[in-house]
Amino acid sequence: MDLPLSDFRHMSVAEFDTNKLLNHASRQAEERGYKKFPIVDVDSHHYESESIAEILDYMDDPVLQQLAKSASQSARTTGMFAGGIGYQDMGGRVTRYPLRKLEKGNPDEHRDVSLTRRWMDAIGVDISVLFPTPMLQLGLHPQVEVEVALARAYNRWLIERVLAKEPRIRSMLYLPFNDPDAAFRMVQEMGGKPGVVGFMVTAARYKPVHHNSYMRIYALLEEMGLPLGFHSAYNWNDQSLSLMNKFISVHALGFVWHNMVHMTNWIMNGLPERFPKLKVVWIESGLAWLPFMMQRLDNEYMMRSSEAPALKRLPSDYIRDMYFTSQPMERSAEDDVLAITMRMMKAETQLMYSSDYPHWDFDLPSTIYDLPFLSETAKRNILGGNAIRFFGLKLPEQKLARVA
């Protein structure tokens, strides 16, 4: 494959091997002794668009299926995915984006299973919670029926073709939140399937999480003991975010913006009081927003508590009961800031490591393991223990990842 570079140069690459790309990560796993404790990655990805032909076979609606199949023959993806503009590959600088096409899976196995297990072994992850990629923007689709149809097809495909084949891969299934009835039925139908550890709402969407039509979904999840995750994403067409002319800008703010809105609604409408046993996890917004949210919401609540009468505690108290994935963990020159953040959010019990691999801003387990202010117990909780408790995972004694 020819990669276009600056100055009209090219770089030609014949092969791509995840093991080779990540061999420094494997060395980190060995040096840090990851074989001594389990590592659970609560947010990782695959590219479901690469399997779209298979996924469309699971689509029930014959008209939508035919429409999507036809569109995917003429367009590069389905012609049905929402979203669009994005430069995650950083102008080819993050080479695994174009080069992944060259990598092959193992024979007799779905390529997604092979590739996922390959990077998990390379970095020392035992269990990973896998999410889609282009579908993170499916909540923006103007056709609600398409969100439902694609979500249902994808979930059924994922359960049968991926989760059933590799117990080290789990997923919080995509919830088509623009159709509350369909979302409810999806939880009923798929919540108990092997490998399903909860449900995920993509955060880039425009229906408020406190709408009454969602209450029976939350109640059902609570009753079934299944966690609800809000996975962030950006929407460059959002009226405010569209003021920004750089991907860096829209990504840096977009990945927190939607979750800030949803969390504020979640708390101010007293959902933690109404669903006290529902476990909520906020995915891929990093950590830096949490001290900000705690301070902003507490400060205003002290003056305007009459507007949020359902609350029995401070907003920050509810935030401290929620769960968070770690990536993209903001690196600051000041270690103190991160230490204070982790203390404020009770990271030792509420924070769960996530890699986001193979996306461009992935974090290795060493981003947690090397933090000087955490005890060994805290590190192991964040890297695995918290997720094991959160999802109720049953793990064997021995390490599942093939680390040295």
Partner 1 sequence: MPDVFVAKAAEFAEGDRRIVAHDGVEIGVFNWQGNYFAYENLCIHQGGPACEGVIMHKVEDVLGPDRTWHGHKFSENEAHFVCPWHGYEYDITTGECAADRRLKLKSFDVVRRGEDIYVVA
Q: Measure the N-to-C terminal CA separation of the chain; round to a whole number of Å.
A: 32
To partner 1, the closest distance from the beta carbon of 221 in angstroms equals: 34
The number of angstroms, rounded, from the C-alpha of 341 to the middle of its chain's C-alpha atoms is: 21
Query: Quick one: which segment of 89-97, 144-152, 179-187, 316-324 binds partner 1 (CB under 8 A)?
Result: 89-97
d(CA 152, CA 186): 8
Q: Phi and psi for 328 in degrees, rounded to 5?
A: -80, 110
Q: Which of 290, 275, 319, 233 is nearest to 43 (CA)?
A: 233
Interacting span for partner 1 (CB under 8 A) from 1-9, 53-61, 76-84, 259-267? 1-9
Pairing relation of β-strands 10-12 and 228-231? Answer: unpaired
Q: Which is nearer to partner 1, 16 or 37 (CB)?
A: 16
Write each residue from 22 to 61 as x if it is in contact with partner 1 (CB under 8 A), else as -, in one continuous string: -xxx--x---------------------------------
Per CB under 8 A, 367 contacts partner 1: yes
**7 interacts with partner 1 by CB under 8 A:** yes
Query: Is residue 63 close enough to count as binding partner 1 by CB under 8 A?
Result: no
94 contributes a contact to partner 1 by CB under 8 A: yes
Binding mask 341-360 for partner 1 (x = CB under 8 A): -------------------x
Query: What is the number of other CB atoms lying within 10 angstroms of the CB of residue 194?
Result: 9
SS3 content of the chain, % helix, strand, coil (to 5): 50, 10, 40
Q: Is 73 in the site for partner 1 (CB under 8 A)?
A: no
**Exactly one of 9, 246, 277, 394 binds partner 1 (CB under 8 A); which one?**
9
Tell me the site size for partner 1, rule CB under 8 A: 25
* Contact status: 96 vs partner 1 (CB under 8 A): yes
129, 227 in Cβ contact below 8 A?
no
Closer to partner 1 by CB, 5 or 340: give it.
5
C-alpha dist (Å) from residue 191 to 6, 17, 120, 128, 198? 49, 35, 25, 18, 7
Applying CB under 8 A, among 67, 135, 169, 364 the residue interacting with partner 1 is 364
6 near partner 1 (CB under 8 A): yes
Considering only 15, 53, 57, 93, the residue that binds partner 1 (CB under 8 A) is 93
- The amino acid at residue 67 is L
Do 214 and 176 contact (CB within 8 A), yes or no?
Answer: no
* Residue 230 CA neighbour count, 13 Å, CB half: 28
3-class DSSP state for residue 390? Answer: helix
Residues contributing to the site for partner 1 (CB under 8 A):
3, 5-7, 9, 11, 21, 23-25, 28, 90-96, 360-364, 366-367
